[in-house]
Structure 1
């Protein structure tokens, strides 16, 4: 510790140190109390005369000790503070702008530290606080807006707000915040300083907002120490695996990151170390993977950076399709390599291609069938092929050679007899080129090279719906590629051959791009964006940290074209099964590498981990301890004299020492006692959950994180607005304020004392509820009986599936947690307590499933599947509702019998 870290809030009080020399002289010159010495031989002194009077000065140790006491008192009056965070000048109210858009998630732990430090400084300076957030929230039926400004509030209320503040998985709206602040002139007049917690990434309206705020008060930008900005912008399949596109800030040196590919239930399939390019804002990372592993990938993220921008979900279109090319049973490999060369080169990098007769391909349940010319073996497999297409298969057909007819079955349009020849010796027409793809085509937006020509084509009859079936057409308007749905399936027809005799399209790069758009359409429900006319409901969405959770009621279905992530459509998976569409944040971000240019006059500083400590209380405590030492030393020196002649004075001194000791003890216990009283007052005003302290630090941290996460889930999904979680000790703490106490069992846990058992019995008899968690799937009655010895615990029985606990909010059938062990509760609950169980016992490690992972937890997030975590959260919400409201939903459990009795 260096003295430079200490700041005096009232430095003028240090002038009192100038009186120390005077005090020193006074103490040294003042005579000590005279002693009465009994000396009977007084006649020996007869005739003696004294010419001077000796003065006995105070000893040097006493002088130094008392000067040191005075020094400590003067320093305490100057109010010393260690690691003072001078975020802003000490005048007026504080406006805190908390940047809680997607970019804040990666550094959110640092933001929380800075917010705590600001609130702590405001408490020292006796300043009020206003809080503004930059990320919009859902409002109304289908819109969103910025949340209202909070304030003026006290630093204590600000800390409660900090616990509820979280990053959002969408962009900040700085322009809306500028308008919102300008609409509050009363606040603008009261603000003396503005503190803006944000990084150095630019955003629309960010510099303009800073310019507008300078007209109100000085601005201090508080930025995190880590400046890396990373977002996954795309994820594509390749011939050998996949390619990850990453947008990042520029750096002179290459950086290394780890990519995590996750499969079903969040399991880690791959950890790949990649390098970000130097002096660039884009990096392409190729990962070699077998097709079966690539197909199992459901999300790719960046290890160590928890953000919605670093989590890219795949959806149903990611799955590599199995393509079957229909061939005759007698075709040789040499013939296949000649006829299907261009087709194979276009499809094989992105799909598994199989060449086999029609019957074998149908048995293998391929996703796409490709027929070049007439369908070989159609006679015996007609019904099987028709059933396969109607059930969702995709049939892609090509024209045959000039001597064959492809038939009239399984076509999207009606064909004219023969074919149309443009460049032959008997034709006056020149080869045709392609027009731009129409907007109803999945190829819409693909650039068409100017050298693509068509010499011959199959001509379609001009049916009334020919335009809606046309995906590509020539310059004269005739169709080149047509498509039509058949029940759940689809038929696509190329009006040219897959080799280069009718057109040079198969040998061009455009042919590859067309197949890249066709392959994802193989799933029957996985239509192109242009055909995504139905609304897709949300199935699972991401929060600001990139963690999956169940959607809330404010989240709306999506339609094509997919919108950028917003409060009504956060990133996640929308739709079901084959129609599961992934809405990702990364592709909508275009400013990851841009750095903001702050206006002149804006002060920028980084977040530090040093907490502000008030040393005045330590100085006062030191002065009291030294004063006690002075009294004890004097008492020891004069012990003999006090015992003989000053018994009354000794008694008085002893009382003084006892008083000083009691006062010192009161000072030592004052802070803890006052905080405990404040805690009781807060607990009485606002309910909160609690956990039983075990004395094992990792278990207590896990319990606190789990109950805090459950409190946050309750706030998001219900009207239960609980305060922060408390850790309690039944030996010393009052339990009646807590509706639910979580008790994790640990090895070697001692039994309760008599006082603790009395408090717990009173808590249970008055309607309290305790959830006992063995955390190991094992329910050992003997172990529980030993720990609960002396407690009035009723007989426990296994919870039935129709218990009110499983119906209080969500409809459940089990007490889900990290594990799925049974739940035990009161077999015959007390009717005086409305029949509510007071003791629940299980081993599902609920705290691990309820906590919101933040990277430092003892339980890794991949140990718990997202679905299992969601069901555990639902059980936790049911449990708290059951503890708060009792059996008010008991009638719903018996609703069928009640309706039957009423005759309805």
Structure 2
């Protein structure tokens, strides 16, 4: 131990050491207690001489022992502290500004450690605390604002707040924080120091806030030891794979990172090493990949840096579609290259384009078919084309040349005969321009260049639904691009040709942007009609660490153009099927190498790994132990004289028992840090057992207890899992970390959990725990679960496939059998850090009723609607569930696959 790291909060108390010599003399000069002699008979006094009792000094060991006790008490009064962190020496309250925007996630353990160090110092100094955050949060129906400044609070209350603090996946709002602090005049008059946990990244309003705070009180900046900022700014496809652009801060030396590409199940498809140059804040890299693997990529991240900025999601627009251009069998390659030059340039970077007759394209199962003018070969392939469109295909048509008329089949609107000509020698009208795309169009939000002109167009009949079918129109209101659904497919018509004779649209960048929006719409849809959604609801969003979870009610649908990520639109996936759009944080981050200039009086410090330790309690404990030792020694020394009296002996025994027992009780109470029973915690830790969440509904709790008791007994009879009796737990007060599986029955009118209980459950799931949520009423829709469990970090759920490991972990099953037969929902993307094991399972099969044994089914819990066969299958599913919770993905080993297939074949 480095004694230089010990600091005394009250050093004046050490002056009491000066009285030690006086105490030494007093103890040494004190006589022993008189020797007790039973008065003998008078005859025994004959011949005895008178003895004078002399003063005797106390033994040396006793003197040293009692001086040590006094020294320990003096040291405790001086309040020694190990690793004292002198963040501030001014009187008054402490204002803590906790950075919790996107940039804090990479160093969040350091920030948490720094916050606890500050709170420990405030606890030792008996100072009150104010807490402020930098990231805004949703407020009301549509607005966002910074959370109110908390305080003044004690150190204990501040600790509870820190445990609930998490980084947010959006930018900080320093101007609003400055206004919020300015409005707290009572706080400004009471604070004596400001401690700001942040890095040196410059953000709008950050320097101004620092200057304002510098005039208020001394500022100390606590920054993490590792100050590395990285964001994935763009991810694009090319003909050979993909290209990635990273933005980052400049370092003193080049550094290497690893990019991880994952699929929709969270499995790693690719690991790619990238070297970040020290002389630049941008790094571009190319990765060679086959098209099918590139199509499977759902996200790209940076290994070891879990932030929303280092995760780039792809969305539906990422997947490359197969586009077939319908041509005649006799068309030459030269003719095709000249005729479809602009079309090929617009589509080929983003899709796999093929030129072939209609029959061959239908056989190759294209996603999109493109036809210019009349559809070649339609007569023999009419039924096949109709079936292809009805099953989800997209047919895109263009006008032909001026001498041909396109057939009236496979059109979204009714066309008039002939063409409409602008600016010709026989026309008085000038070429037309485009209006802004309507909000019902998939092209909404694209900027239209002024130089786009239309000289000729196919004119549509003014049908009653022509407005709903129009995606783009000219300045006179006539349609330019129309579309109509056909079952799950769609037909789209460009009222101009794909070459530059009717307009300059195919030559422009607008034509490329239109195709970028058009290609993703070719994804199959499970809706009755392929209607478009211009308001895209959130499907999954990212937290500050870049982990996907289901959105809550505070997140609003997304509309084009894409906004900067904010509390109402965090990074994530919005929309469904082909319209799914990925909103990423990285494209909105730039200049990560900018450094803020702090005021000259600002103190800059790094967050250390050494926490403050109050040694006063250890000194008191040492003094108590020495005092007990001193008493025991006195009792031992005088035991011979005292034992002659039974009464004295009994009294001594009682006093020793009281002293030892009281000392033990004091030591045990001092060692306890919570209200949980040590015996119960030890039992739960030494022997595995199941648990169920108490609902405060007596009948449901008895049902859960009986069901888990039956499942525990079945496990003991049929497997090597010898579990202890199940426990009833409450996340408000109990530790959940000892239970491999928790059964959670939902009840009507369930009260929401407190913030502490939510943090307990979220921590349990994040550390590898598993919860089976049972609605008990066959209603097993994840949307209902989101409503009931708002505030919990429930992952994205999907229906469990029939070949999931859960269904073959012990028995070979194909369904989550219970009292009912509804499906089971579980993690769609299990955390690979937890070996890919699902943490949340949700269903409505009333498993507790089906798991009870005959001796556990009383009149109240009786469920006579379960057949013996159904109960047997429910027991088997319960055994599989517990084995899955205990062994994880063990049965996913391909070694067992041949045996499983052989048994299934029988």
CA RMSD, 1 decimal: 5.8
Gaps of 5+ in 2: 525-530, 744-772, 790-796, 809-818, 848-860, 862-906
Query: In terms of mean alpha carbon deviation, does 385-394 or 739-748 score higher?
Result: 739-748
Counterpart mapping for 1:7-22 below 5 A: 7-22=7-22
* Matching of residue 115 in structure 1 with residue 90 in structure 2: no
- Residue in structure 2 matching 1:518, options 515, 518, 535: 515
Aligned to 2:24: 24
Residues 196 and 219 in structure 2, CA contact (< 8 A), matched pair in contact too:
yes
- Residue in structure 2 matching 1:490, options 477, 480, 492: 492
Q: CA 1:99/1:526 → structure 2, altered by over 3 Å: closer, same or farther?
A: farther
Alignment partners' CA distance in 2, 1:586 and 1:363: 41
Aligned to 2:104: 104
Alignment partners' CA distance in 2, 1:594 and 1:555: 31
Aligned to 1:234: 234
* CA shift for structure 1 position 750: 8.0
What SS does structure 2 have at the residue aligned with 1:118? helix
Alignment partners' CA distance in 2, 1:363 and 1:814: 33
Alignment partners' CA distance in 1, 2:774 and 2:196: 51
* Matching of residue 671 in structure 1 with residue 670 in structure 2: yes
What SS does structure 2 have at the residue aligned with 1:256? strand
Aligned to 2:633: 633
Aligned to 1:263: 263
* CA shift for structure 1 position 372: 6.2
Alignment partners' CA distance in 1, 2:444 and 2:674: 66
Aligned to 1:278: 278
Residues 258 and 271 in structure 2, CA contact (< 8 A), matched pair in contact too:
yes
Alignment partners' CA distance in 2, 1:348 and 1:809: 41
Residues 245 and 284 in structure 1, CA contact (< 8 A), matched pair in contact too:
yes
Q: CA 1:376/1:78 → structure 2, altered by over 3 Å: closer, same or farther?
A: same
Residues 800 and 824 in structure 2, CA contact (< 8 A), matched pair in contact too:
no
* CA shift for structure 1 position 338: 8.1
Q: So what's the TM-score if we normalise by structure 1?
A: 0.68
* CA shift for structure 1 position 590: 3.3
1:599-628 superposed Cα distances (whole Å, 9 cap, x missing partner): 222222222333322211211221222233
Query: In terms of mean alpha carbon deviation, does 605-614 or 648-657 score higher?
Result: 648-657
Q: So what's the TM-score if we normalise by structure 2?
A: 0.68
* Matching of residue 95 in structure 1 with residue 95 in structure 2: yes
What SS does structure 1 have at the residue aligned with 2:96? strand
Q: CA 1:693/1:206 → structure 2, altered by over 3 Å: closer, same or farther?
A: farther
Aligned to 1:662: 661
Residues 257 and 275 in structure 1, CA contact (< 8 A), matched pair in contact too:
yes
Residues 199 and 223 in structure 1, CA contact (< 8 A), matched pair in contact too:
yes
Residues 554 and 568 in structure 1, CA contact (< 8 A), matched pair in contact too:
yes
Alignment partners' CA distance in 2, 1:57 and 1:538: 86
* CA shift for structure 1 position 533: 7.8
- Across the two proteins, how many residue pairs are aligned to each other? 752
Q: CA 1:129/1:576 → structure 2, altered by over 3 Å: closer, same or farther?
A: same
Alignment partners' CA distance in 1, 2:185 and 2:134: 19
1:617-659 superposed Cα distances (whole Å, 9 cap, x missing partner): 2112212222332333344445445556x87776666555444
What SS does structure 1 have at the residue aligned with 2:24? helix
* Matching of residue 209 in structure 1 with residue 209 in structure 2: yes
Aligned to 2:851: none
Q: CA 1:775/1:65 → structure 2, altered by over 3 Å: closer, same or farther?
A: same
1:759-792 superposed Cα distances (whole Å, 9 cap, x missing partner): 989x99xxx9x99977599xxxxxxxxxxxxxxx
What SS does structure 2 have at the residue aligned with 1:365? coil
Query: In terms of mean alpha carbon deviation, does 464-473 or 140-149 score higher?
Result: 464-473
What SS does structure 1 have at the residue aligned with 2:269? strand
Counterpart mapping for 1:427-576 below 5 A: 459-460=456-457, 483-487=481-485, 488-492=490-494, 495=497, 497=499, 514-515=511-512, 517-524=514-521, 534-576=534-576
Residues 816 and 871 in structure 1, CA contact (< 8 A), matched pair in contact too:
no
Residues 325 and 370 in structure 1, CA contact (< 8 A), matched pair in contact too:
yes
1:21-77 superposed Cα distances (whole Å, 9 cap, x missing partner): 33334444555557689999999998x999xx9875444333332222221111111
Aligned to 1:79: 79
* Matching of residue 322 in structure 1 with residue 353 in structure 2: no
Aligned to 2:899: none
Alignment partners' CA distance in 2, 1:470 and 1:649: 105
Q: CA 1:118/1:242 → structure 2, altered by over 3 Å: closer, same or farther?
A: same
Query: In terms of mean alpha carbon deviation, does 629-638 or 341-350 score higher?
Result: 341-350
Counterpart mapping for 1:614-763 below 5 A: 614-643=614-643, 657-672=656-671, 675-676=673-674, 694-695=684-685
Q: CA 1:41/1:158 → structure 2, altered by over 3 Å: closer, same or farther?
A: same
1:700-741 superposed Cα distances (whole Å, 9 cap, x missing partner): 9xx9xx99xx99xx9xxxxx9xxxxxxxxxxxxxx99x9999
- Residue in structure 2 matching 1:802, options 735, 755, 777: 777
Residues 220 and 605 in structure 2, CA contact (< 8 A), matched pair in contact too:
yes
Q: CA 1:615/1:750 → structure 2, altered by over 3 Å: closer, same or farther?
A: farther
Residues 261 and 301 in structure 1, CA contact (< 8 A), matched pair in contact too:
yes
Q: CA 1:22/1:845 → structure 2, altered by over 3 Å: closer, same or farther?
A: farther
Alignment partners' CA distance in 2, 1:248 and 1:617: 47
* CA shift for structure 1 position 485: 2.6
Q: CA 1:526/1:691 → structure 2, altered by over 3 Å: closer, same or farther?
A: farther
Counterpart mapping for 1:278-297 below 5 A: 278-297=278-297
What SS does structure 2 have at the residue aligned with 1:244? strand
1:122-153 superposed Cα distances (whole Å, 9 cap, x missing partner): 33222222222222222222212222222222
Aligned to 1:687: none
Aligned to 2:901: none
Gaps of 5+ in 1: 681-689, 715-719, 721-734, 778-797, 823-839, 877-889, 891-904
